[in-house]
């Protein structure tokens, strides 16, 4: 089983095994916020409630340089597969500022786009189309990426700690 780790400021920063979480708690590095008494972790001489959510006692700085490299998959995930222009299901990505006109492959210039909008827009800018972006494309927050692979939250107990942070 896995444990959600919150930074001292309550931001989710990672997911570790419950054994590792227990080591952090026993070592005085973290406190237990939620625990499951019904399925204890057994050690040689003692049973421990299985930690589900722990809070680090000291703030850990997450280096901002850890920005995820931009990728097609990453852009679709960030935009939840919603077209930046019409909100339909999106399976392609669009350069807001077309590549042929100097638009870069960056988090700020790439958006999820449905096939239809992508074909219609072609090499034009949203301004030329009279279109507006439904949201400003931004790089994902670093801690969101550390959390990747966990779209499915393992435990209901995690939910209150995973309220999305405004991008």
| Closer CB to Zn ion, 136 or 152, in the complex | 136
Strands (E), the chain: 2-6, 12-17, 30-42, 47-56, 92-95, 110-113
> Cα–Cα–Cα angle for 152, 68, 111, nearest 5°?
80
Q: Does 93 bind Zn ion (CB under 5 A)?
A: no
| Residues between 65 and 84 with contacts to Zn ion, criterion CB under 5 A | 83
Q: Which stretch binds Zn ion (CB under 5 A): 39-47, 58-66, 112-120, 144-152?
A: 112-120
Q: Which stretch binds Zn ion (CB under 5 A): 44-52, 59-67, 86-94, 102-110?
A: 86-94
SS3 (DSSP) at 129:
helix
Q: How far apart are CA 81 and CA 88, in angstroms?
A: 8
Minimum distance of Zn ion from residue 87's CB (angstroms): 7
Block residue for tokens 């992508």: 118
Q: How far apart are CA 27 and CA 92, in angstroms?
A: 47
Of 22, 53, 114, 147, the one binding Zn ion (CB under 5 A) is 114
Minimum distance of Zn ion from residue 1's CB (angstroms): 41
Nearest to 26 by CA among 7, 10, 9, 46: 46
Q: Residue count at the site for Zn ion (CB under 5 A)?
A: 6
**Interface with Zn ion by CB under 5 A: which residues?**
83, 85-86, 88, 114, 117
């Amino acid at each position: 089983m896995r444990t959600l780790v919150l930074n001292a400021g309550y931001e989710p920063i990672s997911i570790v095994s419950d054994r590792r979480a227990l080591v952090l708690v026993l070592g005085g590095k973290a406190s237990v916020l939620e625990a499951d008494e019904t399925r204890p972790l057994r050690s040689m001489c003692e049973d421990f409630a299985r930690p589900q959510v722990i809070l680090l006692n000291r703030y850990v700085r997450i280096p901002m340089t850890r920005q995820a490299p931009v990728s097609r998959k990453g852009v679709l995930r960030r935009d939840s597969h919603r077209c930046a222009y019409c909100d339909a299901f999106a399976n392609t990505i669009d350069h807001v500022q077309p590549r042929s006109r100097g638009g870069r492959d960056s988090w700020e210039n790439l958006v999820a786009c449905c096939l239809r909008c992508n074909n219609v827009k072609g090499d034009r800018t949203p301004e030329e189309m009279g279109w507006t972006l439904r949201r400003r494309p931004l790089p994902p927050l670093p801690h969101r990426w550390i959390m990747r692979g966990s779209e499915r939250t393992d435990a209901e107990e995690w939910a209150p700690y995973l309220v999305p942070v405004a991008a």
